[in-house]
């Protein structure tokens, strides 16, 4: 019944659009009683009021807008991966693969955002960096949630958000819940693959440790109908590696090896983070194929 209702509503909407086009003689509608429907839907007035620079440096606005765009993508990725987990829990591999592939495209756009800061020199960054105080991308709760969903878990990294009750509660929950990779492995086990019980019943708040038996499972998966799932995850892991590399290069270009604003060592901290692989057996299994 729901599908019939949706089809009826879609047909009605298509007729209305066709009637407007005829009435306008093919031109766009130019008169509205209030704000345009586009502004209402997108919330453009709200979006454009969110940029509050703290210096007169002309470069700061690009830095702020790019950071805000990245935050929007973090929220989108979080929502999509949670959807993929629900689809995997329902054993709907086709839907989950479609969702994961879609997030690879999101990540491509997210990574491209670094180009908006690729011109930033130390002299330009120094014009507004001191005014940021201790503000650092390290403190992004949405990015931390994204990392937890990808399996990079750490209880210590929830602590900066203790004074933000909503963000802290979400991160603590994400810390204790299965990651996207955990959901994939549980799905593979239900599909008949020999994923070890110790992996399926592990402490999800602990950092994932590679297992040679899971490596063997992926070798098996690549020989069967679920190979597209493996490749979608590999594409995603590659995009995440690209994100971390571009972040590292943006920091190196704009501030060199100076300490980070948030208290870290800066460049060396990012270099250590890059060595934490996600979906590790997907990579090592390739040697055995």
Which residues are known binding-site members for substrate?
A: 129
Cβ–Cβ under 8 Å, residues 232 and 80:
no
Distance CA(60)–CA(120), nearest Å, equals 10
Q: How many CB atoms lie within 10 A of CB 96?
A: 25
Binding site per annotation, positions:
129, 247
266/285 Cα distance (integer angstroms): 33
State whether the Cα torsion 148-77-171-116 is positive or negative.
Answer: positive
Alpha helix (H) residue ranges in 53-179: 60-89, 93-112, 122-129, 141-149, 165-176
Q: What 3-state class would DSSP assign to 259?
A: coil
C-alpha angle with apex 90: 89 to 93, nearest 5 degrees? 90
> CA–CA distance from 120 to each of 53, 69, 102, 140, 150 (Å)?
16, 17, 30, 21, 29
Binding site per annotation, positions for heme: 247
What would the two tokens of residue 2 be?
Answer: 């729901």
Tell me the C-alpha distance between 287 and 216, whole Å.
11
Closest C-alpha to 260, from 125, 148, 162? 125
Six-digit token string for 269: 């901290």
**CA dist., res. 39 & res. 135, Å (int):** 31
Whether 121 contacts 249, CB under 8 Å: no
């Amino acid at each position: 019944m729901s599908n019939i209702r949706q089809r009826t509503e879609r047909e009605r909407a298509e007729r209305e659009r066709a009637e407007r086009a005829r009435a306008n003689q093919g031109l766009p509608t130019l008169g509205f009683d209030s704000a345009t429907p586009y502004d209402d839907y997108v919330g453009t007035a709200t979006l454009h009021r969110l940029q509050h620079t703290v210096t007169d440096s002309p470069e700061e606005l690009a830095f702020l807008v790019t950071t805000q765009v990245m935050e929007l993508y973090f929220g989108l990725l979080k929502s999509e991966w949670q959807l993929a987990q629900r689809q995997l829990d329902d054993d709907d591999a086709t839907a989950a693969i479609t969702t994961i592939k879609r997030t690879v495209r999101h990540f491509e756009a997210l990574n491209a955002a670094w180009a908006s800061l690729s011109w930033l020199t130390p002299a330009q960054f120094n014009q507004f960096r001191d005014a940021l105080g201790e503000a650092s991308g390290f403190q992004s709760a949405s990015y931390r949630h994204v990392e937890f969903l990808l399996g990079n878990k750490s209880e210590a990294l929830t602590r900066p958000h203790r004074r933000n009750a909503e963000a802290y509660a979400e991160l603590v929950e994400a810390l204790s819940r299965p990651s996207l990779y955990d959901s994939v492995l549980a799905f593979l086990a239900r599909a008949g693959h020999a994923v070890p019980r110790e992996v399926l019943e592990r402490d999800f708040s602990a950092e994932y440790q590679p297992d040679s038996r899971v490596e063997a499972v992926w070798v098996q998966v690549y020989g069967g109908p679920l190979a597209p799932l493996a490749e979608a995850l590999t594409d995603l892991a590659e995009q995440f590696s690209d994100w971390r590399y571009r972040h590292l290069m943006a920091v190196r270009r704009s501030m060199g090896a100076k300490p980070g604003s948030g208290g870290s060592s800066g460049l060396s901290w990012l270099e250590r983070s890059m060595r934490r692989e996600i979906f590790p057996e997907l990579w090592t299994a390739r040697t055995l194929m």
